[in-house]
Amino acid sequence: MRINKYLAHAGVASRRKAEELIKAGEVTVNGERMVDLSYQVKAGDTVEVKQAQVYKEEPVYYVLNKPRGVISSVSDEKDRKTVLDFFHHIPERIYPVGRLDWDTSGLILLTNDGEFANLMTHPRHEIEKVYVAKVEGQATKENLRPLTQGVKIDGRKTKPAVYQIIKQDIKSKKSVVQLTIHEGRNHQVKKMFEAIGLPVQKLSRIQYGTLGLTGLQPGEFRRLSKKEVSQLVNAAKGN
């Protein structure tokens, strides 16, 4: 197996990031600094990254219903709770696929497959993501229409989104809106609602591609089936 793919399957990084590690001199094979990006790892080879030995693990894939107040990271310098705190008994070195904000709840994937993670998060792969947002103000067809045409955030226009008004509370002047997007830009949903004058108070991701959260309470997770993984991969590749 080619060295970058080996590192990806070991959960170290995506193939592209693995190549960057190799170029930076962080990877050794049998004690020798690796410089050949086309090197094929053989049985018995000792592969190390930053002087720590890595092993090719069987790929695993999980879906977690992330509670609010949890960091989408493998660790946190402020010692805050992370998504990995729910996976203490999992032997594989998994990590989150993309991120959900600290105060955003809902569906997040975790894996040790760097190639899969890269496929899910690469900008050119437009996987459908569905969010439910509680916003300040009255959501109407008129003020939500710009979302279906694209709004400018961070100097770039978003791709058209689909919305559904779930609830309107005239007395409290708050609304609940479901929004479907196909991008994954930083804080995108919050910025989109802010751009149309409906600041988000509470946000949750309820669907990712073909996956939902049925049967998963906040803090609960389950392992994905091969069929579910294939569906996600096919969705990313446009099949």
Instruction: Confirm whether 101 is a catalytic residue.
Output: yes
Q: What is the Cα–Cα distance from 34 to 28, expressed in whole angstroms? A: 5
Please tell me the distance from the alpha carbon of residue 56 to that of residue 149, in angstroms, as a whole number: 45
Q: Which value, to the nearest 10 degrees, does the dihedral of the CA atoms of residues 42, 45, 49, 52 take?
A: 150
Q: Catalytic residue among 36, 76, 101, 154, which?
A: 101
Q: How far is CA 65 from CA 62, 70, 176, 209, in A?
A: 10, 11, 20, 15
Tokens of 68: 């609010």
Report, as residue numbers or ranges, the catalytic residues.
101
